[in-house]
């Protein structure tokens, strides 16, 4: 059974461009090195959001082959290395230096589809 989640992180003001470049590199490394990661999409708000999205918010939509693949991601060298190199680009948990502040929601699909050949990588 797949393991799906949404996570939200918050870019530090003044570090947005650097963080976006780092996130792009992270997504490329996950694609190249983590075959159990089926989807790894990083989004920023655009247009109208209800309620309005906080400044600097980025949303990750992630799908893993199973919980073991998710565990391999969060404990593996790609993600842990990213945190060591780029964690300071994001708002931090308290106490300081304990890692980026994030919210995480694990999801169970209730309905819907991904159209084969869609721009989000299916098919």
122 is written with which tokens?
């299916």
Judge if pTM exceeds 0.85. Answer: yes
| CATH number for the domain harbouring residue 10 | 3.30.70.100
Q: What is the pLDDT of residues 6-35, one digit of tens each?
A: 999 999 999 999 999 999 999 999 999 999
The CA radius of gyration of the chain, in Å to the nearest whole number, is 15
Q: Is the dihedral of CA 16, 22, 25, 26 positive or negative?
A: negative
Q: Does residue 83 contact residue 75 with C-beta atoms inside 8 Å?
A: no
For residue 116, being part of any structural domain is answered with: no
Number of domains in the chain: 1
Domain assignment of residue 113, yes or no: no
- Which structural domain range is residue 39 located in? 3-107
Between CA 64 and CA 83 the distance in angstroms is: 20
Segment 31-90, tens digit of pLDDT? 999 999 999 999 999 888 888 888 899 999 999 999 999 999 999 999 999 999 999 999
């Amino acid at each position: 059974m797949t393991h799906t989640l949404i996570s939200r992180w918050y870019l530090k003001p003044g570090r947005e461009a650097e963080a976006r470049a780092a996130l792009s590199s992270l997504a490329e490394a996950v694609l190249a090195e983590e075959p159990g990661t089926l989807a790894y999409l990083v989004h920023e708000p655009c247009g109208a959001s209800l309620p309005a999205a906080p400044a600097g918010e980025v949303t990750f939509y992630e799908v893993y082959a199973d919980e073991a693949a998710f565990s391999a991601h969060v404990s593996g060298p790609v993600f842990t290395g990213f945190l060591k190199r780029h964690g300071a680009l994001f708002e931090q948990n308290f106490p300081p230096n304990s890692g980026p502040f994030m919210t995480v929601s694990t999801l169970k699909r209730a309905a819907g589809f991904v159209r084969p050949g869609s721009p989000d990588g299916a098919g």
